[in-house]
Amino acid sequence: MRRISILGSTGSIGVSTLNLIEETLTPGEDYELEALCAGRNAALLAEQALKFRPRVAVLSDASQWADFSERMKGSGIEIACGPEAVEAAAARPVDWVMAAIVGIAGLRPVWAAAGTGATVALANKESLVCCGRSLILRAEAAGGRILPVDSEHNAIFQVFEEAERARIRRLILTASGGPFRGRQREDLAHVTREQALKHPNWSMGAKITIDSASLANKGLELIEAAYLFDMPSAQIDVLIHPQSVVHSLVEYSDGSTLAQMGPPDMRVPISYCLGWPQRHSWSAPPLDLCALSTLTFERPDTEAFPMLRLAREALEAGGLMPVVYNAANEVMVQAFLEGRIGFLDIPATVEAAMMRAQSLSMAFGNDLRHDVECIEQADAETRAQLAVSGEAAHWTAGTQGQAFSRA
Ligand SMILES: NC(=O)c1ccc[n+]([C@@H]2O[C@H](COP(=O)([O-])OP(=O)(O)OC[C@H]3O[C@@H](n4cnc5c(N)ncnc54)[C@H](OP(=O)(O)O)[C@@H]3O)[C@@H](O)[C@H]2O)c1
């Protein structure tokens, strides 16, 4: 019997996790649900809570409280509201947590969950990108561990032989290339939100879908891989693999390269985390190898998609630079989703924010400790600066190479 919490239960990963749990586990026998947490979707959270009967259901957005509490009336389930309540729910002792809140909003809940000693299935890559190894060490110190949900890291996790670490030449992360694969930089100036949201292979939340289109997702994953597997940037490569069947690879110095393959379905890595250390049987769609006529791999175009290059620079700069990269990206993705900026403004602004952070490292006190307050300060500083600058209106000059040059 395992006690389980799901943070971000109303999102793409959260819903897939609940579907898998419903299909494969018996409530009261295999598991009991401690907490379901979500952002603002009161209707879906209430529906999930009434069906799965967690001990507590928490909505972060206070403006939806009246609606949520009305829907939950008479259920007998403990309910709460606000970011602090989400964090408190994440801190409840459980055996297994799905951490699937999107963006920096996941930072405190993930940090809290990691401190409980639970096994944390981590989908919220942004928290790891910001916390670095501190998050992994925190989980281990509490007697738990972080398991990667991202399909690429989950693939590497499955074929990474810790005892052979010294003989690992490199990790190879694969990327679908997103909807704009093959386009030149100038072709990207006027792409629309709708085009960017049409991912060729994966069905995901809006933020990660835009990140996939700009390759920021692969950038975040590069940083995530370095921290998860304790590998230097120089030993992590990215290859575009449009079929999204080989989810990532580990190359060993004896000439063997081990890959994990599977259909592009997030339930595969989620089920791996759910079952770990055993494999977890479910009605997984088989991989039809004969139907795959070709598997192709190509180098990413970092000229057209600078977010990957910028992520590597952030990783190599270290300290809080990945926090700046993440914060600037989140602000700009939101602005793009709201139709306020163009697609190319995303990398231009992130690059400018990183350059500014480098020159103003005093503003972050040169404090390289990755504690939550320190991360939140760097995150807030970056967001405040973008707000002061009027986001892209100011930074777009960088796109045209007028206002900024690289140090
Ligand atoms: N989707 C994928 O295939 C995939 C693959 C790999 C990694 N990931 C990662 O997994 C995470 C979730 O992705 P997703 O695609 O599932 O995103 P999503 O569909 O947008 O769902 C995000 C979830 O986070 C919740 N949330 C947002 N703000 C919150 C807040 N302030 N407090 C509490 N909950 C909040 C949302 O609640 P409401 O909907 O109620 O607002 C929703 O449940 C991301 O970090 C993403 O990078 C996703």
For 128-184, how does the pLDDT look when each residue is reduced to its tens digit (9 = 90+)? 999 999 999 999 999 999 999 999 999 999 999 999 999 999 999 999 999 999 999
User: What is the largest distance, in Å, between two alpha-carbon atoms of the chain?
Assistant: 64
Fold classification of 2-148 (topology level): Rossmann fold (3.40.50)
CATH of domain 318-398: 1.10.1740.10
Contact, 89 vs 80, CB < 8 A?
yes
**Ligand 1 interacting residues, C-beta cut-off 6 A:** 8-14, 37-41, 60, 86, 100-102, 105, 123-126, 149-150, 202, 204-208, 266
Whether pLDDT at 406 is above 70: no
Residue 217 assigned as binding residue: yes
216-229 vs 133-141: helix crossing angle, rounded to 10: 40
253 CA to middle of ligand 1, Å?
38
CATH 3.40.50.720 in the chain is located at: 2-148
Q: Ligand 1: which residue has its CA nearest to atom 30?
A: 39
257-299 pLDDT tens trace: 999 999 999 999 999 999 999 999 999 999 999 988 899 999 9
Q: Which two tokens stand for residue 332?
A: 């700009």
pLDDT tens for 333-354 read 999 999 999 999 999 999 999 9
CB < 8 Å & 24+ apart, contacts of 192-201: 193/336, 193/337, 193/339, 196/336, 196/343, 200/176, 200/242, 201/176, 201/242, 201/243, 201/244, 201/264
Looking at residue 372, its pLDDT comes to: 93
Residue that is written with structure tokens 């994990």 in the block: 260
Mean pLDDT of the residues in the chain: 92
d(C-alpha 237, C-alpha 220), whole Å: 13
- The reported pLDDT for the residue numbered 364 is 54
The secondary structure element, H or E, covering residue 121 is strand 119-122
Query: Is residue 397 a contact partner of residue 403, using CB atoms and an 8 Å limit?
Result: yes
For CA atoms 316, 317, 318, 324, the dihedral sign is negative
Helices (H), 123-236: 125-131, 133-141, 151-159, 193-196, 206-214, 216-229
| Alpha carbon of 238 to ligand 1 centroid (Å) | 24
**Per-residue pLDDT averaged across 61-67, rounded?**
95
pLDDT exceeds cutoff 70 at 369? no
pLDDT at 403: 26
- The percent of residues above 70 in pLDDT, for the chain, comes to 93
- Model pLDDT, residue 391: 53
pLDDT range class, residue 202, cuts 50, 70, 90: confident
For residue 395, pLDDT beyond 60: no
**Average pLDDT, stretch 313-319?**
94
Expressed in angstroms and rounded, the spacing between residue 204 Cα and the centre of ligand 1 is 9
Residue range(s) occupied by CATH 1.10.1740.10 in the chain? 318-398
Beta-bridged to residue 99, according to DSSP, are 7, 122
Is residue 40 part of an annotated ligand binding site?
A: yes
- Residue of the CA atom closest to atom 2 of ligand 1: 204
Q: Give the nearest ligand 1 atom to 204 CA.
A: 1
Would you place residue 256 in the very low, low, confident or very high pLDDT band (cuts 50, 70, 90)? very high
| 212 annotated as a binding-site residue | yes
